[in-house]
């Protein structure tokens, strides 16, 4: 009897296992995964879409008015790059026994219906293992006339009311160290923006504006026409030759070590 009892128990166990297996297989048959693959490579060859409006970063500025200061777009592309700068138009100054100063005209759009302060736009789209950079400005050529012997010796250019913002859809951390005011003299670099490497700041696209329009809701409204200042010392101002003078200001972005 014991042998028959054991055989019956084994049979019941076998039937139970057999009954569960099809049920388990049936449950798995209702789902099946698929995979999606993508390879990420560092960019840098993408074109610059336009100029971010520093006072409304969700929008792109139109082309500057042709009779106002020019905008420069970098022809060389890269993952870490200065994308755009603006030229400075200080108008006309006169010889004087005193120090001479003049403000740069603001950028003009829509036939003068909109204005913005001078600006610099940049991007950092390096791969996630690379963070941090420094942006600096340097006067690499003093104001020199069409006659190269005419030079506005010891003249300086001062930037004020600097405000840096991220492109509207860029939610990365804005660089925490932004200089709102600095003065450039010949061949002396000034640090303007520092994106902290350890804090992983500054990825994406940003723009810094020096002086804001009267309609701006951020920064210092009404300063776009009085934020970039040319100063010619008295000793030079009293000896200036009549000529058209041009200086060069170079903006550089360098990756953190």
Q: For the chain, how are helix, strand and coil distributed in percent, rounded to 5? A: 10, 35, 55
pLDDT in tens, 146-193: 999 999 999 999 999 999 999 999 999 999 999 999 999 999 999 999
* Cα gap 190→156, rounded to integer Å: 12
pLDDT in tens, 21-38: 555 555 689 999 999 999
Tell me 220's DSSP state: -
pLDDT in tens, 111-148: 999 999 999 999 999 998 899 999 999 999 999 999 99
Exposure of 136 in the CB half-sphere (CA atoms within 13 A): 14
Task: Quickly count: other Cβ atoms within 10 Å of residue 207's Cβ.
Answer: 24
Residue ranges of domains in the chain = 71-255
């Amino acid at each position: 009897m014991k042998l028959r009892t054991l055989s019956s128990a084994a049979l019941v166990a076998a039937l139970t296992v057999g009954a569960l297996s099809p049920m388990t297989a049936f449950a798995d048959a209702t789902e099946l995964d698929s995979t999606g693959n993508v390879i990420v490579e560092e960019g840098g060859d993408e074109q610059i879409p336009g100029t971010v409006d520093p006072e409304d970063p969700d929008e792109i500025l139109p082309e500057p008015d042709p009779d106002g200061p020019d905008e420069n777009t970098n022809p060389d592309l890269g993952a870490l790059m200065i994308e755009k700068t603006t030229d400075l138009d200080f108008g006309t100054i006169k010889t004087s026994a005193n120090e001479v100063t003049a403000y740069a005209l603001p950028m003009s759009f829509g036939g003068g219906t909109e204005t913005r302060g001078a600006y610099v736009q940049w991007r950092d789209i390096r791969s996630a293992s690379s963070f941090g950079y420094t942006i600096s400005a340097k006067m690499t050529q003093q104001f020199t006339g069409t006659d190269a012997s005419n030079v506005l010796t010891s003249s300086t250019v001062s930037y004020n009311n600097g405000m840096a913002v991220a492109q509207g859809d860029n939610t990365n951390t804005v660089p925490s160290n932004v200089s709102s005011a600095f003065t450039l003299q010949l061949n002396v670099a000034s640090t303007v923006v520092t994106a902290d490497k350890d804090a992983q700041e500054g990825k994406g696209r940003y723009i810094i504006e020096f002086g804001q329009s009267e309609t701006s809701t951020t920064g210092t409204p009404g300063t776009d026409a009085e934020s970039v200042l040319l100063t010619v010392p008295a000793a030079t101002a009293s000896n200036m030759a009549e000529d058209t003078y041009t200086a060069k200001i170079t903006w550089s972005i360098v990756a953190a070590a």
